[in-house]
Amino acid sequence: MVGQRVRRSWLLIPGHRADLVPQADTFDADVIVFDLEDLVHDGRKPAARENVRSGIERARQRGAEVFVRCDLELLYADLQASVWRGLQGIILPKVTSVAQIREAEEILTHFESERGVMQAGLLHEVNEFDEPRSVDNSLEIHLSLENAAGNEAALELLESSRRIRSVSLGRADLVMDLRGEPSGELHLMPFLMQRALNRGFTPSRSDDSDWAAAGQARDDAKRAAAEWATSV
- The CA-based angle 49-117-51, given to 5 degrees, is 15
For the chain, what is the domain count? 1
- In this structure, the strands spanning 164-169 and 140-145 are parallel
Residue 3 lies in a domain: no
Question: Is 4 contained in some domain?
Answer: no
Count of residues for the chain? 232
Asked if 83 and 48 count as a contact pair (C-beta separation under 8 A), the reply is no
Check residue 9 and give its pLDDT: 93
Cα–Cα dist 94/146, whole Å: 5
Structural domain harbouring 119: 10-231
| pLDDT attached to residue 198 | 44
Does residue 2 sit within a domain? no
Beta-carbon contacts of 173 under 8 Å, excluding residues fewer than 6 positions away, are: 93, 94, 146, 147
Q: What is the pTM of this model?
A: 0.74
Q: Does 74 reside within a domain?
A: yes
Question: pLDDT grade, residue 77 (50/70/90)?
Answer: very high
Q: What percent of the chain has pLDDT over 90?
A: 58
User: Does pLDDT of 106 surpass 50?
Assistant: yes
C-alpha span between 27 and 94 (Å, rounded): 27
- Using CA atoms of 6, 158, 112, 121 in order, give the dihedral in degrees to the nearest 10: 10
Q: Residue 58 falls within a domain, yes or no? A: yes
Question: What is the CATH number for 163?
Answer: 3.20.20.60
- pLDDT per position as a tens digit, 179-199: 655 455 444 444 344 444 444
| Domain annotation covers residue 138 | yes
| Helix spans in the chain (H) | 45-60, 75-82, 98-115, 148-152, 154-158, 171-178, 217-231
* Domain-embedded: residue 189: yes
5 occurs within a structural domain:
no
